Each structure stands twice: as structure tokens, then as C-alpha cells.
Structure 1
């Protein structure tokens, strides 16, 4: 997954997920990372967190497009 804001916009468009917020956090020193339990190990390429009302329902570490169906299902669970 590319790490640019433009890529996130394209991903939202491709997946028809205009109502889904995406964030790109740069660097391992971001003060919000511990609160979200983001693994800053260099082997971790990305972390996708699905949540509603501040409650996490699914976490995908090193998510790839091959897992799109699982991610869509997790999103569907919180948008019912």
C-alpha cells in the first residue's frame, strides 16, 4: 500500500467508501500511536483499524488488497 494522501483518496474512490475515514500517520514518534496500540516495528507496513463509537471491532496488520473481502465485512458489521 502506498503511503500518500492521494493514494488514500484513490482507495476511498475505488472501494466506494466515501463514508469511511482513512488516516495516514507518519513516523513512529506520533504521540497518538500508543493510545491506538499501533505496532511501530519496522516490519509492520500498515495497520487498519475498524471502529465505531470509539470501540475497535477489527484490526488488520500488514493489510493487503487480498484481504479486501474481510475488511469489507468488518466495515459492514459497524455500519449496520
Structure 2
């Protein structure tokens, strides 16, 4: 019975560590998302004056998405 309890305690500890890692990752992604949204809103405000504005917004959005994917790929543990 003590062995089972010890095993469950270790499993619980591992789950708590994984939860903390995922919580930090979620916070980081939330910050990046907010920064990108603010940048997009800023660029939309700047691009509203001319026809080239809509093209630059979609282009920067794609570049930002590609940048995030590259960052995420580089930050993957293991």
C-alpha cells in the first residue's frame, strides 16, 4: 500500500510540474498574442489612409504568424 501511495505522489508531482510548465507557456503565448494584436491595430490605423494599407496589414500578419511559428518551433523542449 505504501508503494502505491509513493507512486501516486510521484505521479501527482509530475502532473503539477507539467501544469506549471503549461501555465507559463500559456502566459507567454497570451503576451505574444496581445502584442501582435496591438501591432495589428496600430498598422490598421496607419494603413487606413490609402489603398496600400490593406495589403501591408495582411502581409505583416502573415509575417507575424510565420515569426510566431518559428519562435514556437525553437522553444519546444526536447
The TM-score with structure 1 as length reference comes to: 0.26
Higher helix share: 2
**Structure with max Cα Rg:** 2
* Higher RCO (CA-CA < 8 Å; seq separation 6+): 1
TM-score (norm 2): 0.27
